[in-house]
């Protein structure tokens, strides 16, 4: 694995980030809107009321438009692993490819089988069979998310693998530990719930537009009630899974947690920053400049959330790089110690391959043992400077805190919305309807910021502690990546504009029973 120029790495990262962020504009709405329309169709089958069928069909149309474009962007995203990150694909393809293959074989075919019945089978199959097809389509979409998120979680917390020095590849030895790892399960629920929250905002916002225009008011009120209940449940659940995320990050990615909180010097009884403005003069992790211009903390809450102990020590950026603090696994190593062990692992691998070629099996056995001992720090051998280990703190910090603030806003919005619906005051509160409408973009902002925290926060790693980005890249021209970056940018922007235009046309047309 050759280390390549920074320009190629940066452009490849930019292309993947751009593709992923466009893809995530479509996926959350698919995950949540599918459940909402399925609930409405369930109410139709249970009550026999045509208004529920009309509501289900309307949201199903918007689901279909969004679903189709989401699939297109997702396919391009997966191809980029082979084109731009071929070293990564070679190094861990046996593991990373497995959940993606299952996603294509199981979940995608499940969606493809039942989605046609869902859209075109209203008059061709029984009510119950159609309802089953709708739920199975949604289940297929959710299972697609499961396998993709399992693959992503493994990159954040690589388990269930063993390195084979003869093939220079990591091989899967425990499928269930990969699937059921705490990081994978928590990431799955947290990410799917973010789609549910966004979809609830979408449904209540569009319904508010109908109420403002005094059109389809019965449909709008029913959709508003379903969206508000679904939204409140989803926001409360996502707050719970957010706690699980903080705990997992503190155990497996402490540098990400330090960046999320702008924490440079670790402390016991660490407080959680409620409101804070970072100091732009803070340039080096070990200088004496305060990292904050303004900070309001909730005492001991960071220790409680990250370690489930108010008295626990939470390491900061400098502690993580300098090492020496106590962890559940022993005393933390410094970056320099990890770097030396990583170099030793890389050298042991080269010596092992040479010994095998020369048929010196005694030496090969010694080098293989040395490689195994130092392999946990293998990736550090490709990183020369301690500063490279620090993600861009302002990006991670502000993304995390804005996301959390939006989460609390959504809880308050859905709770107040339900109160207004139950007291029959909603239609007279035009200001609240406008607030619901303009909250739709905030749902997309929160969803995107969640991925910014997850992915920027784990830099410089393609696979945490195992493979950095500069060793995962393909050996291609940076100019070719630049060209495809702008081609994809134009293509995805055109798809987004097309989707918005089609959706606006359907919304203006309104629900029509077929």
Share of the chain above pLDDT 70, in %: 98
Does one domain contain both 309 and 420? no
Is 514 within the bounds of a domain?
no
Question: Could you identify the residue written with the tokens 């990546």?
Answer: 481
pLDDT bin (cut points 50, 70, 90) of residue 5 is low
Summarize the confidence of residues 155-163 as an average pLDDT.
93
Does one domain contain both 369 and 401? no
Summarize the confidence of residues 399-410 as an average pLDDT.
96
pLDDT at residue 194 in the model? 95
For the segment 487-496, what is each residue's pLDDT rounded down to a tens digit? 999 999 999 9
Check pLDDT > 60 for residue 513: no
Does one domain contain both 59 and 137? yes
Summarize the confidence of residues 81-109 as an average pLDDT.
84
Does one domain contain both 124 and 217? yes
Is 1 within the bounds of a domain?
no
CA distances from 260 to 155, 187, 278, 323 (A): 19, 17, 12, 19
Does one domain contain both 342 and 231? no
Is 418 within the bounds of a domain?
yes
**What is the spatial distance between Cα 430 and Cα 227, in angstroms, rounded to a whole number?**
18
Check pLDDT > 60 for residue 19: yes
Our count of domains for the chain comes to: 3
Whether a cis peptide bond, with omega within 30° of 0, leads into 362 is: no
pLDDT at residue 400 in the model? 96
For the segment 464-478, what is each residue's pLDDT rounded down to a tens digit? 999 999 999 988 888
Over the chain, what is the mean pLDDT?
91
Nearest 5°: CA angle at 139, between 235 and 504? 65
pLDDT bin (cut points 50, 70, 90) of residue 151 is very high
Nearest Cα neighbor of 432 from 443, 418, 442, 446 is: 418
Highest mean pLDDT among 112-121, 323-332, 414-423: 414-423
CA atoms within 13 A on the CB side of 320: 23
What backbone torsions phi and psi does residue 280 show, to the nearest 5 degrees? -65, -15
Answer with the one of 347, 382, 417 that is the final residue of a domain: 382
pLDDT bin (cut points 50, 70, 90) of residue 1 is very low
Check pLDDT > 80 for residue 325: yes
**What is the spatial distance between Cα 219 and Cα 55, in angstroms, rounded to a whole number?**
6
Does one domain contain both 228 and 272? no
Answer with the one of 318, 349, 382 that is the final residue of a domain: 382
Does one domain contain both 103 and 241? yes
pLDDT at residue 257 in the model? 95
Does one domain contain both 309 and 411? no
pLDDT bin (cut points 50, 70, 90) of residue 51 is very high
This prediction has a pTM of 0.92
pLDDT at residue 426 in the model? 86
Does one domain contain both 464 and 410? yes
Find out whether 277 and 244 touch, Cβ atoms under 8 Å: no
**What is the spatial distance between Cα 99 and Cα 105, in angstroms, rounded to a whole number?**
10
Answer with the one of 289, 310, 330 that is the final residue of a domain: 330
Does one domain contain both 192 and 244? yes
pLDDT at residue 80 in the model? 86
Summarize the confidence of residues 192-205 as an average pLDDT.
96
For the segment 284-323, what is each residue's pLDDT rounded down to a tens digit? 898 889 999 999 999 999 999 888 889 999 999 999 999 9
Is 124 within the bounds of a domain?
yes
Check pLDDT > 50 for residue 378: yes
Check pLDDT > 80 for residue 514: no
**What is the spatial distance between Cα 514 and Cα 504, in angstroms, rounded to a whole number?**
20
Does one domain contain both 348 and 402? no
Is 474 within the bounds of a domain?
yes
377 secondary structure, DSSP code: G
pLDDT at residue 2 in the model? 42
**What is the spatial distance between Cα 461 and Cα 253, in angstroms, rounded to a whole number?**
11
For the segment 237-293, what is each residue's pLDDT rounded down to a tens digit? 999 999 899 899 999 999 999 999 999 999 999 999 999 999 999 988 988 899 999
pLDDT at residue 428 in the model? 81
Does one domain contain both 43 and 120? yes
Q: Domain range spanning residue 337?
A: 333-382
Is 272 within the bounds of a domain?
yes
Is 399 within the bounds of a domain?
yes
């Amino acid at each position: 694995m050759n280390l390549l120029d920074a320009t190629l790495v940066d452009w490849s990262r930019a292309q993947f980030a751009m593709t992923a962020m466009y893809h995530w504009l479509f996926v959350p709405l698919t995950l949540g809107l599918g459940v909402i329309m399925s609930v409405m169709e369930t109410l139709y089958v249970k009550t026999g009321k045509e208004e529920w069928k009309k509501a289900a069909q309307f949201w199903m149309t918007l689901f279909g438009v969004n679903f189709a474009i989401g699939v297109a962007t997702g396919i391009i995203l997966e191809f980029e692993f082979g084109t731009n990150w071929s070293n990564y694909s070679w190094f861990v393809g046996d593991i990373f490819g497995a959940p993606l293959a299952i996603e294509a074989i199981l979940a995608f075919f499940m969606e493809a089988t039942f989605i046609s019945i869902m859209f075109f089978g209203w008059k061709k199959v029984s009510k119950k069979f159609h309802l089953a097809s709708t739920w199975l389509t949604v289940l297929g979409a959710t299972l697609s998310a499961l396998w993709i998120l399992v693959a992503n979680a493994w990159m954040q917390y690589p388990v269930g693998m063993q390195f084979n020095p003869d093939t220079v590849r990591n091989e899967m030895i425990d499928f269930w530990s990969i699937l059921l790892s705490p990081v994978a399960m928590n990431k799955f629920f947290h990410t799917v719930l973010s789609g549910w929250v966004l979809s609830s905002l979408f449904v209540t916002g569009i319904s508010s537009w109908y109420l403002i225009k005094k059109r389809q008011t019965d449909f709008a009120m029913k959709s508003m009630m379903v969206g508000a209940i679904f939204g409140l449940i989803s926001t409360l659940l996502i707050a719970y899974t957010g706690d699980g995320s903080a705990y997992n990050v503190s155990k497996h990615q402490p540098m990400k947690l330090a960046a999320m909180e702008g924490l440079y010097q670790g402390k016991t009884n660490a407080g959680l920053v409620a409101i804070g403005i970072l100091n732009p003069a803070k340039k080096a992790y070990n200088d004496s400049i305060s990292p904050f211009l303004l900070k309001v903390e909730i005492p001991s809450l960071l220790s409680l959330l990250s370690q489930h102990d108010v008295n626990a020590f939470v390491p900061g950026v400098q502690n993580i790089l300098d090492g020496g603090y106590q962890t559940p696994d022993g005393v933390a190593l410094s970056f320099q110690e990890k770097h030396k062990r990583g170099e030793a692992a890389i050298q042991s691998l080269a010596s092992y391959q040479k010994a095998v070629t020369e048929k010196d099996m005694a030496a090969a056995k010694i080098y293989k043992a040395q490689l195994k001992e130092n392999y946990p720090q293998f990736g550090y051998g490709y990183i020369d400077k301690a500063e490279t280990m620090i993600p861009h703190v302002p990006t991670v910090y502000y993304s995390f805190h804005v996301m959390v603030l939006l989460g609390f806003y959504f809880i308050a919005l859905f709770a107040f919305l339900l109160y207004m619906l139950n007291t029959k005051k909603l239609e007279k509160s035009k200001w609240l309807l406008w607030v619901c409408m303009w909250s739709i973009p905030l749902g997309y902002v929160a969803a995107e910021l969640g991925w910014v925290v997850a992915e920027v926060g784990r830099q410089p790693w393609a696979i945490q502690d195992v493979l950095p980005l500069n060793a995962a890249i393909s050996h291609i021209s940076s100019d070719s990546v630049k060209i495809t970056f702008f081609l994809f940018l134009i293509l995805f922007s055109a798809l987004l504009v097309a989707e918005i235009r089609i959706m606006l046309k359907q919304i203006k047309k309104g629900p029509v029973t077929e």
